[in-house]
Structure 1
Amino acid sequence: MNTGLKITTFAVALAATFGTAYGVGQGVDPVVADGPPRHEDDHPGPSPERAEPGRGHAGHDTPPAGGLQISEGGYTLDLKTPRVTAGRRADLRFTVRDAAGRALTAYQREHDKELHLIVASRDLVTYRHLHPTRAADGTWSTPVDLPRAGGYRVFADFTPAAKDAGNLTLGADLAATGPYRPQDLPAPSAETTTGGYEVELAGRLDPGRASELELKVSRDGRPVTDLQPYLGAYGHLVALRAGDLTYLHVHPNGEPGDGSTRPGPEISFTATAPSAGSYRLFLDFKHDGRVHTAAFTVRAGGTAPATDTPQGHPDGGHGHGH
């Protein structure tokens, strides 16, 4: 067998191996694209330890990326469960540590919780919005059941109780072992369905510039006008950039009881994309006592999504941990 044939044979065998199973320790470090973007929402601004912001489109400053670092601002996400088995319920445990290595036990409450935990697959098909419980020693835990093998990213969104502390989103890699079948990012669309509800998306996600996104919730063709507050709002929106999973956590414009925000059918958000590219949007809303998640793929800096291809809910259902 000549050298060229040997190399080709090895490459084919390697590709077959990775297409069949996702083994232990296959978490992939994030790849940062388009400079150092960060989510822009209603959280406090970046801490002094962050890199200087880059320049966005149309001359706007683009803040550094969120969720791409395991340590930031003197705090570190210590993920004690770096791997689980796909399809099996497991206890996900982690600790947030300060610069001295001590477990953080004092947090500011934001949207009814001390910490919000997001788990998403790297292909952005599986999504979980969890709210773990904290033990007295600072260890957080929550049950999780990931339906598919592959690489996942864990995001801890929190604000320390320390004076002048800003909001942080720390990220760490998680591997789910088992037979691995990669999936493509769902196609862009302005309509989706979840649990018997139809959700329509209007507006654009613009790079480096704040823009409004409006989501309208209906059921059986009728607008839903009695959405229930969920974590202090009528809806929560998380956006993740395809490729490196840059994290944006945006909140609605207005809140229940402010005298002007109606309980549906529209939920309005203001968001800024850190760069052009594809993003996956996950909307959580509550109705009739249940939380539902609607997912969309959008392209920032591109054309508006089509309206004829419903995308469905995220893989595996809701998984909110409530």
Structure 2
Amino acid sequence: MSEERRLEVLRAIVQDYVRTSEPVGSKALLDRHQLGVSAATVRNDMAVLEEEGLISAPHTSAGRVPTDAGYRLFVDRLSAVKPLTRAERTAIERFLHGAVDLDDVVGRTTRLLSSLTQQVAVVQYPSLTRSTVRHVELVPVGGTRLMVVLIANTGRVEQRVVDVGRDLSHDEGAVGDLRARINAAAVSHPLTAVPTRLADVLDAVVEEDRVVAEAVAQALADVAAEDTEERVVLAGTANLARVGSDFPTSLSSVLDALEEHVVLLRLMGSMSALADEDRVAVSIGHENPYAPLRTTSVVATRYGVSGGLGVVGPTRMDYPQAMAAVRAVAHYVAEILDG
């Protein structure tokens, strides 16, 4: 019973500190929460929590604030992530369904997450190297040039213009036949397997179309080999300045770290690996592997098969709200891209 009561005291301290940013004292706890115990009991519980490293005194005042370990216990003991309201879910769905392409989806998602949570939103583009082929389109663009358009199951669209050494503007039959053969071999297969899958296509085309087929196959192989598609998009960095008191000496280093997209890609990759469609990963303070971000918390999850999204903010974060927003937005993004 005493352990459960102390957890209730910790929960109240976290909630009050997140809301007010002021150290929380025993009198404030009794005034704001129905704890059902005496002031002496609350003070004793706070003393035990401090001994266990779950709360600390930032200065000589009587108030206490949660530590990284305290936030961790609070997050781990959440019985369930509170669902968003119907109005919030409707707003998310309408906002995201207005997107016209993947870039628009990602841009809208970052702005939406930042607005919902008042944190820095981070969205990682779906990786082509872990995607499958939805469709390949071939479009003559004049002279001997042919545009090769790859559409992945994640919504990614890549295009290359290649010189095939032959004017195909008036040879729709050859283009249509090659398009059909390529799609039959590649659709629903991993992009990384496309070069191998197209080997049989090259063997089957007639000799006069072999050069064209080889140029298209090489363009698709080049897309599969590239890793430059690994990108992240940010929104809401100004939100950190709004809570600058949470970063008395580290705000500039946090902002610098957020500019390092390689760092963010690694962070999102490691976080989304811990999550699934129903689980949100939370990394708090010193749990973050990259030193400049150890005054922040990260809430992230996966969307689809290879994308990641989340928020970065101070450890004094409304974790239940952030977790609910991240999970809901990821669900809607996955629905849009899968559709």
Q: Under TM normalisation by the shorter chain, which class is it?
A: under 0.3
**When the two structures are superposed, what TM-score results if normalisation uses the length of structure 1?**
0.26
Whichever structure has more strand as a proportion of its residues is: 1
Q: Which has the higher helix share?
A: 2
- TM-score between the two structures when normalised by the length of structure 2: 0.25
Which entry has the higher C-alpha Rg, 1 or 2?
2
